[in-house]
């Protein structure tokens, strides 16, 4: 097979030979020429076929000609220099970085470009005297790097990056190292003249270093503990905060009173390890966003007609690029092919075929006539239309879903993690041990009571327990990521382990996006009729016609004598007085008996020749491979359900294929799906929702864990907890099992670290906790827990790999 030199796709329909290379289309060839002429062909040496086919963009970015819109996108704009950042989804390899950072070779007005690969972002500084933002975007499009510009970009210019964890980690690490260094002489407990003489200065230095550790690096724990006490929940941060504070104040007293060296080395180590755990847990996928709403999908501007009677130079109707937010009821706008309808309105002019799959999940194209209502969120599929705006963006049917309370509440707060569950008992028992031991010492040896009380609180500080979950979950997060399941944060994995109900969306989730399976039912067509059919289908652009044409194309194609297309109805073709009608049942066979309901519910194309009804082609969605297996293995310990926005056409098929007990619900609107999940949760279920589109957004937000299946993870998906690559669909049960194993690892680590605590408590209650014991025991327990969880998760991950490869 010949592979395109530029984009690496197989050359199926056309192969263009050019300069010893083959290209799959003229788009790819053009990019090659542009790069070659500018001596940028190293692009192809860095990686094999690194490019992407430039898509058609006629007029798509015209809104950038509007100064106010362009200005909103710019990060910096002063006199001649402008800076702009774009997200470019097609960035995927080192060649991409190279070509984008050499943009100035293509246009000398571009000063510098800087690629942030993990974020798929490019920051361009350009001179504005000759080059406009519009031209810059067109240049990027021309070489196949079309930026993604959405309504979201117009609001916030530079997102604030929170780097406080790195700072805190830096401070703690710096202080920890220095404190260890300074307390080294103390560890040997030799009474040597010079050492004794300089002890105070070492100790005071240690004290100074430890102040920022306790109150800056450890501030998260102190604040969190304070909040949790106020809300009467004892989370794991409470004993940690007690530990930090007791360590700090006891040591301060010891140093100030010159009683001893204190435990500041242990404290700095504790805070440092805890922060390392936190840092490790925060694996983020910068190129994915889990917090999207409709704003990321909507265009930033549309073409609006303005009726300017006052202007004398150009009276009458003019076109203007208006921001979507500025649209008001009564405006007339133009929506081009493949553009999203941004507002609710009434169709005025043009042929409409709308793909509402985005909103309803139904893959069917909907056709409308002038005068009918159009809802926001549909994607126009056939040419240019004009429509009158009825409601502004915020009041549209689709966007109203986001005013539902699910989107404003923070679902994470209600979930109690495993660590939180045990921390309450842990805190209470530690406090009672401390009190009991102190009471005992008060009776028998009052002088040691203070030491024992603080020693218990110090040694019981649950550093190892607090580290168990971050390291286990952080490791799992990476394993998930390797297998193309991108999870928002580590808490989601713990929630995934508790799942007992799995709800699937049908279209796009269980099925692929292509209607590939086509069957014919009715009277057999003659060869002549088939050739007539094929010739007729060729003349139209309707997606169903095209996929039907694709399987029929071997038949001879003749030039049609007559061709007519009725929008939303069907097509008529005539060759040699033979007439064929292709389209909906009502169109094709107007005086035929009522169609039987099973066919009626299917996506079908009906055919009649010379006014006799022949039969119909039915289109079926292709279900994902391994769907049955996924359901069977999930059914063992989960309740299952399928929600669909579609009609009941495939109910029987699903009923027979899926395990009995699977709830099948059809005709579900987005809000119905949300309520279905809510009802399950009211029964105490932990629900995993697996969906794909905006129509599932409410359900995804409501569910305990919302996973989105995506054919192409670079395409933006709705707000969710995780994004799963469609190829990994068959692994859903394995992912759930993996997270359950992770939960087990955490429990083992808890038991392990409790043993350490018991040993430490032994030293503490007997009054033998020397600083050196604490300095050894605490890091030792932390490190061994980290090693234990890392090793265990590594083994689990390898097993998972092996199963996957089978």
Residues that bind other proteins (CB under 8 A): 18-19, 33, 36-37, 39-42, 94, 97-98, 101-102, 105, 115-119, 161, 163, 166-167, 170-171, 174, 177-178, 181, 194, 197-198, 201, 205
Closer Cβ to other proteins, 40 or 128, answer by number: 40
For residue 619, the minimal CB distance to other proteins (Å) is 37
Instruction: Give the residue with the Cβ less far from other proteins, 95 or 423.
Output: 95
E-strand spans in 352-462? 352-355, 365-368, 373-374, 379-380, 385-389
Nearest residue to 493 (alpha-carbon basis) of 510, 507, 508, 472: 472
How far apart, in whole angstroms, are the C-alpha atoms of residue 748 and residue 788?
9
CB of 102 to other proteins, least distance (A): 7
Comparison of 122 and 707: residue with beta carbon closer to other proteins: 122
Instruction: Using CB atoms within 10 Å of the CB of residue 534, give its burial: 0 to 12 exposed, 13 to 18 middle, 19+ buried.
Output: buried
CB 581 within 8 A of CB 575: no
Distances 87 to 20, 111, 115, 196, 240 between C-alpha atoms, Å: 34, 19, 10, 62, 41
CA distances from 792 to 473, 751, 754, 788 (A): 12, 15, 18, 6
Smaller CB separation from other proteins, 34 or 131:
34
Of 30 and 132, nearer to other proteins (C-beta) is: 30
Q: By C-beta, is 104 or 639 nearer to other proteins? A: 104
Interatomic CA distance for residues 480 and 113, integer angstroms: 33
For residues 638 and 663, the answer to whether their CB atoms sit within 8 Å is: no
* Distance of closest approach, residue 269 Cβ to other proteins, in angstroms: 17
What beta strand segments (E) does 192-342 contain? 301-308, 316-323, 332-335
- Taking the CB of residue 386, how many other CB atoms lie within 10 A of it? 16
Sheet holding 316-323, edge to edge: 316-323, 301-308, 332-335, 385-389, 345-349, 373-374
Angstrom distance (rounded) from CA 448 to CA 597: 87
Smallest separation (angstroms) from other proteins to the CB of 35: 10
Q: What are phi and psi of 693, to 5 degrees?
A: -120, -175
Looking at the Cβ atoms of 199 and 730, the one nearer to other proteins is 199
Smaller CB distance to other proteins: residue 40 or 253?
40
- Shortest distance, CB of residue 285 to other proteins, whole angstroms? 12
Which of 99, 746 has the CB closer to other proteins? 99
CB of 161 to other proteins, least distance (A): 6
- What are the percentages of helix, strand and coil residues in the chain, rounded to 5? 50, 20, 30
Tally of CB atoms within 10 A around 521:
11
Minimum CB separation of residue 164 from other proteins in Å reads 10
The structure tokens listed for 199 are: 């002890």
CB of 172 to other proteins, least distance (A): 11
Query: Nearer to other proteins by C-beta: 33 or 62?
Result: 33
CA separation for the pair 382, 352 (Å, rounded):
6
Distance between CA 790 and CA 118 in Å, rounded? Answer: 25
User: What are the start-end ranges of the H helices in 445-569?
Assistant: 449-459, 463-482, 490-497, 527-538, 543-552
Buried b (16+ CB within 10 A) or exposed e, 99-134: bbebbeebeebbeebebebebbbbbbbbebeebbbe
Which residues have a Cβ under 8 Å from the Cβ of 747 and sit 6 or more positions away? 418
Q: Which of 478, 503, 470, 498 is nearest to 740 (CA)?
A: 498
* SS3 state of residue 647: coil
Minimum distance of other proteins from residue 162's CB (angstroms): 11
Instruction: Between 214 and 393, name the residue whose CB sits nearer to other proteins.
Output: 214
Nearest to 702 by CA among 409, 396, 491: 409
Q: How far is the CB of 93 from other proteins (least distance, A)?
A: 9
Q: What are phi and psi of 651, to 5 degrees?
A: -60, -45
Rounded to whole angstroms, the Cα distance separating 755 from 740 reads 24
Q: Which is nearer to other proteins, 264 or 465 (CB)?
A: 264
CB of 163 to other proteins, least distance (A): 6
Burial class (CB in 10 A: 0-12, 13-18, 19+), 652: exposed
Query: What is the closest distance, in whole angstroms, from the C-beta atom of residue 29 to other proteins in the complex?
Result: 8
Q: How far is the CB of 165 from other proteins (least distance, A)?
A: 10
Q: 379 forms bridges with which residues in the sheet?
A: 340, 355
The HSE-up count of residue 386 (CA atoms within 13 Å, CB side) is 9
Which of 194, 444 has the CB closer to other proteins?
194
Closer Cβ to other proteins, 188 or 194, answer by number: 194
List own/partner pairs for 436-443 with CB under 8 A and 24 or more apart.
437/764, 437/765, 440/765, 441/767
Least distance to other proteins from the beta carbon of 159, Å?
A: 11
- Choose between 210 and 501: whose C-beta lies nearer to other proteins: 210
Least distance to other proteins, CB of residue 779, Å: 20
Pick the closer one to other proteins by CB: 85 or 509: 85
Phi and psi torsions of 306, nearest 5°: -120, 135
Beta-bridged to residue 122, according to DSSP, are 86, 115
Q: How far is the CB of 112 from other proteins (least distance, A)?
A: 13
Nearer to other proteins, 214 or 746 (CB): 214
CB of 23 to other proteins, least distance (A): 11
What 8-state DSSP symbol labels residue 623?
B
């Amino acid at each position: 097979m010949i592979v395109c030199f530029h984009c690496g796709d197989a050359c199926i329909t056309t192969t263009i030979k050019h300069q010893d290379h083959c290209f799959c289309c003229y788009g790819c060839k053009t990019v090659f020429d542009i790069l070659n002429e500018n001596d940028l062909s190293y692009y192809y040496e860095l990686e094999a076929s690194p490019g992407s086919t430039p898509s058609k963009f006629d007029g798509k970015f015209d809104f950038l000609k509007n100064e106010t819109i362009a200005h909103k996108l710019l990060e910096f704009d002063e006199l001649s220099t402008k800076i702009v950042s774009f997200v470019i989804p097609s960035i995927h390899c080192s060649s991409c970085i190279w070509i984008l950072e050499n943009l100035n070779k293509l246009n000398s007005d571009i000063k510098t470009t800087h690629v942030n690969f993990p974020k798929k972002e490019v920051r361009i500084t350009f001179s504005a005297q000759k080059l406009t933002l519009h031209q810059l975007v067109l240049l990027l499009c021309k070489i196949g790097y079309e930026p993604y510009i959405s309504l979201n970009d117009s609001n916030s210019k530079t997102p604030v990056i929170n780097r406080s964890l790195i700072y805190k980690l830096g401070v703690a690490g710096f202080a920890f190292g220095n404190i260890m260094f300074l307390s080294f002489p103390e560890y040997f407990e030799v009474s040597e003249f010079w050492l004794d003489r300089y002890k105070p200065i070492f100790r005071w230095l240690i004290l100074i270093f430890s102040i920022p550790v306790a109150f800056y690096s450890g501030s998260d724990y102190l604040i969190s503990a304070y909040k949790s006490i106020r809300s009467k929940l004892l989370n794991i941060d409470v004993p940690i905060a007690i530990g930090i504070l007791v360590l700090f104040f006891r040591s301060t007293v010891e140093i100030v009173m010159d009683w001893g060296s204190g435990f500041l080395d242990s404290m700095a180590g504790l805070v440092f390890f805890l922060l390392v755990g936190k840092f490790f847990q925060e694996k983020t996928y910068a190129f994915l966003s889990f917090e999207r709403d409709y704003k990321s999908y909507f265009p930033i501007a549309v073409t609006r007609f303005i009726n300017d009677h006052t202007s004398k130079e150009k009276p009458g109707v003019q076109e203007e690029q208006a921001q979507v937010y500025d649209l008001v009821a009564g405006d007339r706008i133009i929506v081009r092919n493949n553009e999203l309808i941004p507002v609710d309105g009434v169709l005025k002019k043009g042929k409409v075929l709308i793909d509402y799959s985005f909103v309803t999940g139904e893959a069917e194209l909907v056709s409308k006539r002038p005068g009918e209502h159009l809802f926001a969120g549909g994607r126009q599929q056939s040419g240019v239309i004009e429509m009158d705006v009825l409601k502004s963006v915020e009041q549209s049917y689709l966007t109203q879903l986001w005013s539902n309370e699910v989107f404003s509440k923070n679902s994470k707060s209600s979930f109690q993690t495993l660590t939180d569950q045990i921390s309450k008992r842990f805190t209470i028992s530690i406090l009672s041990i401390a009190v009991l031991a102190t009471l005992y010492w008060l009776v028998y040896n009052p002088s040691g009571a203070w030491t024992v009380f603080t020693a218990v609180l110090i040694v019981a500080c649950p550093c190892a327990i607090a580290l168990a979950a971050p390291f286990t979950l952080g490791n799992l997060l990476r394993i998930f990521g390797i297998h193309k399941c991108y999870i928002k944060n580590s808490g989601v994995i713990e929630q995934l382990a508790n799942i007992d109900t799995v709800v699937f969306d049908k279209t796009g989730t269980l099925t692929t996006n292509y209607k590939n399976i086509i069957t014919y039912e009715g009277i057999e067509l003659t060869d002549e009729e088939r050739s007539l059919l094929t010739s007729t289908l060729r003349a139209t652009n309707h997606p169903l016609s095209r996929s039907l044409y694709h399987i029929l194309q071997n038949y001879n194609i003749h030039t049609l004598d007559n061709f007519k297309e009725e929008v939303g109805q069907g097509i008529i073709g005539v060759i040699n007085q033979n007439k064929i009608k292709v389209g909906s049942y009502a169109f094709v066979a107007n005086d035929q008996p009522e169609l039987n309901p099973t066919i009626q519910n299917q996506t079908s194309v009906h055919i009649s020749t010379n006014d006799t009804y022949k039969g119909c082609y039915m289109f079926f969605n292709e279900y994902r491979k391994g769907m049955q297996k996924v359901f069977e293995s999930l059914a063992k310990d989960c309740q299952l359900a399928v929600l669909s926005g579609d009609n009941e056409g495939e109910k029987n098929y699903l009923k027979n294929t899926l395990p009995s007990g699977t709830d099948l619900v059809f005709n579900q609107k987005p809000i119905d799906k949300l309520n279905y999940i809510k009802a399950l949760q009211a029964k105490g279920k932990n629900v995993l929702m697996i969906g794909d589109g905006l129509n599932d957004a409410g359900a995804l937000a409501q569910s305990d864990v919302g996973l989105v299946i995506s054919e192409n993870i670079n395409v933006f998906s709705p707000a969710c907890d995780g994004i799963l690559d469609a190829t990994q669909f068959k692994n859903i049960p394995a992912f759930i099992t993996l997270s359950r194993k992770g939960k087990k690892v955490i429990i083992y680590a808890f038991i392990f670290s409790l043993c350490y605590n018991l040993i430490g408590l032994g030293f503490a209650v007997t009054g033998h906790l020397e600083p050196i014991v604490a300095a050894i025991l605490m890091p030792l327990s932390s490190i061994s827990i980290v090693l234990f969880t890392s090793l265990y998760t590594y083994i689990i991950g390898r097993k998972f790999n092996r199963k996957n490869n089978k």
